[in-house]
Amino acid sequence: MKWRWAIAGLGVALAGAALANNPQFPGADPHAMFIGDELWVFPTGGPGKVWQNERFRAFSSKDLKTWTPRGDLISAEDIGWIKEDGAPAHFLWAPGVATRGGKYYLYFSVGPQNPTPSRIGVAVADRPEGPYRDSGRPLVNDGGNGFEAIDPMVFVDPKSGKAYLYAGGSAGATLRVWELGPDMISIAREIKVATPANFTEGAFVHARGGTYYLSYSHGHWNAGDYSVHYATASSPTGPWTYRGAILTSDARHQGPGHHSFVRTPSGKWLIVYHRWERGPGPGPYKGTRQIAIDTLHYAPDGRILPVRMTDGAASPTLPLR
């Protein structure tokens, strides 16, 4: 895909073609949320620079046609505890963002898993674009023994007001859940849950019509079996009933996953995810994954219908009606 950079006010806007275009931009592991009428995406990596995994950035759009870079949120050098494990190198990936009390909370993975276990951190900001201030210590620091502390996602239950942290994947493919303290940067307690069928990593939770949906990625991140599956429950901590796959590879795109769901201001739903722009073939794939956005539909009984991946002018635009 070709991109051009254009000055937009005091910032720099990443402008694509005249029509909306999937894939939207290079990146992976996107966490998306609406702030007003603007969709914000917080990915691993992103456009405009050589692929980076030592800092996080954000991008926003009002129409899914033009994206505005929001600058650096936090970098590895801003995290004082990152070198305490003595590992020779550290990388940041898979951010998740939550908001409460007018503040924004950025949860993130610090790895790799070897030679020391991965950890999960949290940083706080007064604005979605930051700057984010690290909390001063890891939030989850007990990886290993069949658990890899990666892919954090925080869900604030609209019924109880409680905040839950979901994390885990890859090494051990184990899901763990914690209730956070009121400050959103401490653990109140861990809640024992059963790992659902076909879980690998990238958990995401949303609620709709009194049902809680736990969705997640299955398979190898760099191969065609990577896909999105989901389970449902009557509470944010299960027990979960497996419902099946909803996003899988097709003839033009491979390994879609590590997604987030987001409800538009008009009440519709989108899925924001990454994928490989290529046809079927054996992995491991190399190169750069791409962020894509597609519409999400529910059956009358609440089931999530299979997602159809789109390209170019067939991609959704905002406002979505």
- Say if CB 166 and CB 181 are below 8 A apart: no
Report the C-alpha gap between 186 and 155 in whole angstroms: 15
Q: What is the 3-state secondary structure (H, E, C) of the chain?
A: CCCEEEEECCEEEEECCCCCCCCCEECEEEEEEEECCEEEEEEECCCCCCCCCCEEEEEEECCCCEEEEEEEEEEHHHCCCCCCCCCCCCEEEEEEEEEECCEEEEEEEEECCCCCCCEEEEEEECCCCCCCEECCCCCECCCECCECCCCCEEEECCCCCCEEEEECCCCCCCCEEEEECCCCCCEEEEECCCCCCCCCEEEEEEEECCEEEEEEEECCCCCCCCEEEEEEECCCCCCCEEEEEEECCCCCCEEEEEEEEEECCCCCEEEEEEEECCCCCCCCCCCCCEEEEEEECECCCCCECCCCCCCHHHCCCCCCC
Arithmetic mean of pLDDT over the chain? 92
Report the C-alpha gap between 247 and 271 in whole angstroms: 10
Other residues' Cβ atoms within 10 Å of the Cβ of residue 179: 17
Contact partners, residue 89, CB within 8 Å, separation at least 6: 112
Residues serving a catalytic function are 29, 201
pTM across the whole model? 0.94
| Fold exhibited by the domain 19-312 | Tachylectin-2; Chain A (2.115.10)
pLDDT at position 53:
86
User: What is the chain's pLDDT, residue by residue, as a tens digit (321 residues)?
Assistant: 323 233 233 233 454 434 458 999 999 999 999 999 999 999 999 886 556 789 999 999 999 999 999 999 999 999 999 999 999 999 999 999 999 999 999 999 999 999 999 999 999 999 999 999 999 999 999 988 899 999 999 999 999 999 999 999 998 999 999 999 999 999 999 999 999 999 999 999 999 999 999 999 999 999 999 999 999 999 999 999 999 999 999 999 999 999 999 999 999 999 999 999 999 998 999 999 999 999 999 999 999 999 999 999 899 999 987
Give pLDDT tens digits for 9-37. Answer: 323 345 443 445 899 999 999 999 999 99
Other residues' Cβ atoms within 10 Å of the Cβ of residue 256: 26
- Say if CB 55 and CB 74 are below 8 A apart: yes
Report the C-alpha gap between 139 and 152 in whole angstroms: 10
